[in-house]
Structure 1
Amino acid sequence: MNTLPRVLVVDDDPVIGQSFDRVLSGKGYAVITASNGEEALRKLKDENYDVVFTDIKMPGMSGLEVAERIKASQPWLPVVIVTGYGTDANEKRAGEAGVSAFLRKPLTPDMIEDSAHKALLEKGAAATEPAAKATTPETEHGLNGIALFAKNVALFIASPIIGFVYVVALPFVGLGMLAWIGTKALFKL
């Protein structure tokens, strides 16, 4: 079952959340909004998201703080900074936090869609890295190349024999089950 990619938009201006929803929901995204950093962090604890867009200037916690906290707890989660207050210092701090992109307002629908798409590609690439480094059950149990080859050859030779046993035994098992069910039904009468 495929679920829609979940986008969390953190901005104290509800119009921004509505803009993201209008642009992305028609493109196959589920857009969820949070009006401040604290609410966003609560939502991130309770649910999984595929990308987070956060404004910098908000009451309480700034978007840069939100990004730093997210990257500290979920480094694989792409965070995109969206701001009308884009200074070089803010951009540098965002880069040090590991954000995926730094978008300056005003945003166009193409900017929103492209940044969401790029962030999802980034998340997909980050998700495949640990899988590539993961150990297989064979290496986990200490099987080297020769032992693994021998195991595979043995399975290759055994599989037709196992298949033949199933083909021969299956009718007998089926008939036995039919007889058992029939006997039970007969004695219930």
Structure 2
Amino acid sequence: MTSTRIAVLVGSLRADSLNRRLAEGLVAFAPAGVELEIVDGLGELPFYNEDLDGETPPAAAVRLRETVGAADRVLVVTPEYNGTMPAVLNNAIDWLSRPYGAGALVGTPLGVIGATPTPYGGRWAHADVVRSAGVAGATVVEDITVSQSALEVDPLTDPEVQAKLADAVRRLVAHSDAAAA
């Protein structure tokens, strides 16, 4: 059986962040035949600058592009900062969007999940990730977004939230290019 590789981009750099813990839980309980890999090092990326992206781009950018480029799917797990996605995530998408038209996200199925301690549960950040990743060429998988308010329940332990997150991973894995046509 072929394994599906999912690169997981976590939008928070904090080691004990809620979204990192959600991502780690998904890695630990991945379904059979699915390998989730949290892509570390997003904080090491310099802000995207075309002057840096020449013949020898920064090592952190090369690692990011290689890891995401080798994955079958991308799952973004992110909070919301000031009504949008965290800058570190936006920067990672910028690096992944290059070279234009041939970046590591082009044609890759992508879903967005996450939680935040606001009443909106990260909906605006998730919508911005969907838009930005789509512009970068990702195939955004509809109905994968799980935006959970941590004010309502503990997303790490609530069985309903855990079921929604696991279902999001299953739907992302089940997505096929034929479904996008």
State the TM-score, normalizing by the size of structure 1: 0.49
Q: What amino acid does structure 1 have at the position aligned with 2:63?
A: R
Aligned residues: 125
Which residue matches 1:80?
111
Larger Rg: 1
Structure 1 residues 56 and 113 mapped into 2: Cα distance closer, same or farther (>3 Å)? closer
Q: Does 1:95 align with 2:130?
A: yes
Q: CA deviation at 1:48?
A: 1.3
Report sequence identity in percent: 14
Q: Does 1:120 align with 2:125?
A: no
> In structure 2, what is the Cα distance between the partners aligned to 1:27 and 1:41?
29
Written as runs of structure 1 = structure 2, the 5 A alignment for 1:104-143 is 104-105=147-148, 106=155, 108-125=161-178
Which residue matches 2:38?
33
Which residue matches 2:27?
21
Quote the RMSD (CA, aligned, Å): 3.5
Q: Is the 8 A contact 1:77 1:123 kept in 2?
A: no
Q: Does 1:55 align with 2:54?
A: no
Structure 1 residues 17 and 69 mapped into 2: Cα distance closer, same or farther (>3 Å)? same
Residue aligned with 1:114, SS: helix
State the TM-score, normalizing by the size of structure 2: 0.51
Q: Is the 8 A contact 2:23 2:77 kept in 1?
A: no
What CA deviation, in whole Å up to 9, does each residue of 1:114-148 have, x standing for no partner?
A: 21222233344268x5xxxxxxxxxxxxxxxxxxx
Which residue matches 1:5?
4
- Runs of 4+ displaced beyond 6 Å: none
Unaligned 5+ runs, structure 1: 130-189
Please identify which structure carries the higher strand content: 2
Please identify which structure carries the higher helix content: 1
